[in-house]
Amino acid sequence: MQAKSYELNDFVEMKKPHACQTNRWQVTRVGMDIRIKCQGCGASVLMPRRDFDKRLKKVLPQENAAE
Protein backbone atom coordinates (compact mmCIF):
# COMPACT_ATOMS: atom_id res chain seq x y z
CA MET A 1 0.00 0.00 0.00
CA GLN A 2 1.43 3.32 -1.07
CA ALA A 3 1.19 6.31 1.27
CA LYS A 4 -0.58 9.43 0.02
CA SER A 5 1.95 12.16 -0.61
CA TYR A 6 1.56 15.47 1.17
CA GLU A 7 3.95 18.31 1.87
CA LEU A 8 4.18 21.35 4.08
CA ASN A 9 1.40 23.90 3.40
CA ASP A 10 -0.73 21.40 1.43
CA PHE A 11 -4.47 21.40 2.03
CA VAL A 12 -5.97 18.04 2.95
CA GLU A 13 -9.39 16.54 3.59
CA MET A 14 -9.83 14.19 6.52
CA LYS A 15 -12.33 11.32 6.76
CA LYS A 16 -14.35 13.03 9.51
CA PRO A 17 -15.09 16.77 9.77
CA HIS A 18 -13.90 18.94 12.65
CA ALA A 19 -16.36 20.06 15.35
CA CYS A 20 -16.88 23.32 13.43
CA GLN A 21 -18.11 21.18 10.47
CA THR A 22 -15.17 22.12 8.24
CA ASN A 23 -13.27 19.32 6.53
CA ARG A 24 -10.42 21.41 5.06
CA TRP A 25 -7.07 21.44 6.87
CA GLN A 26 -3.63 22.90 6.12
CA VAL A 27 -0.50 20.89 6.91
CA THR A 28 1.74 23.16 9.02
CA ARG A 29 4.33 20.66 10.29
CA VAL A 30 5.71 17.47 8.78
CA GLY A 31 7.97 15.06 10.65
CA MET A 32 7.37 12.18 13.04
CA ASP A 33 4.25 14.12 14.02
CA ILE A 34 1.97 16.03 11.67
CA ARG A 35 0.38 19.34 12.69
CA ILE A 36 -2.72 20.44 10.82
CA LYS A 37 -4.69 23.68 11.12
CA CYS A 38 -8.46 23.83 10.64
CA GLN A 39 -9.41 26.32 7.94
CA GLY A 40 -12.80 26.95 9.56
CA CYS A 41 -11.99 27.88 13.15
CA GLY A 42 -8.17 28.00 13.17
CA ALA A 43 -7.71 25.15 15.68
CA SER A 44 -4.39 23.31 15.47
CA VAL A 45 -4.05 19.54 15.97
CA LEU A 46 -0.83 17.55 16.41
CA MET A 47 -0.98 13.81 15.73
CA PRO A 48 1.46 10.99 15.02
CA ARG A 49 2.11 10.38 11.32
CA ARG A 50 0.62 6.89 11.56
CA ASP A 51 -2.72 8.23 12.86
CA PHE A 52 -2.70 11.05 10.30
CA ASP A 53 -2.19 8.59 7.43
CA LYS A 54 -5.14 6.51 8.67
CA ARG A 55 -7.44 9.54 8.93
CA LEU A 56 -6.41 11.24 5.67
CA LYS A 57 -9.01 11.05 2.90
CA LYS A 58 -7.27 13.02 0.14
CA VAL A 59 -4.82 15.80 -0.64
CA LEU A 60 -6.68 18.71 -2.22
CA PRO A 61 -5.32 20.29 -5.42
CA GLN A 62 -3.50 23.61 -5.12
CA GLU A 63 -5.90 26.43 -6.03
CA ASN A 64 -3.28 29.05 -6.84
CA ALA A 65 -0.47 27.11 -8.45
CA ALA A 66 2.68 29.05 -9.27
CA GLU A 67 2.82 29.89 -12.95
The chain-wide mean pLDDT, for the chain, equals 88
Average pLDDT over residues 37-59: 95
Q: Characterise 42 by phi-psi region: left (phi > 0), alpha (psi -120 to 50), beta (else).
A: left
Instruction: Give alpha helix (H) positions in the chain.
Output: 49-55
CA distances from 59 to 8, 14, 37, 63 (A): 12, 9, 14, 12
Average pLDDT over residues 34-41: 95
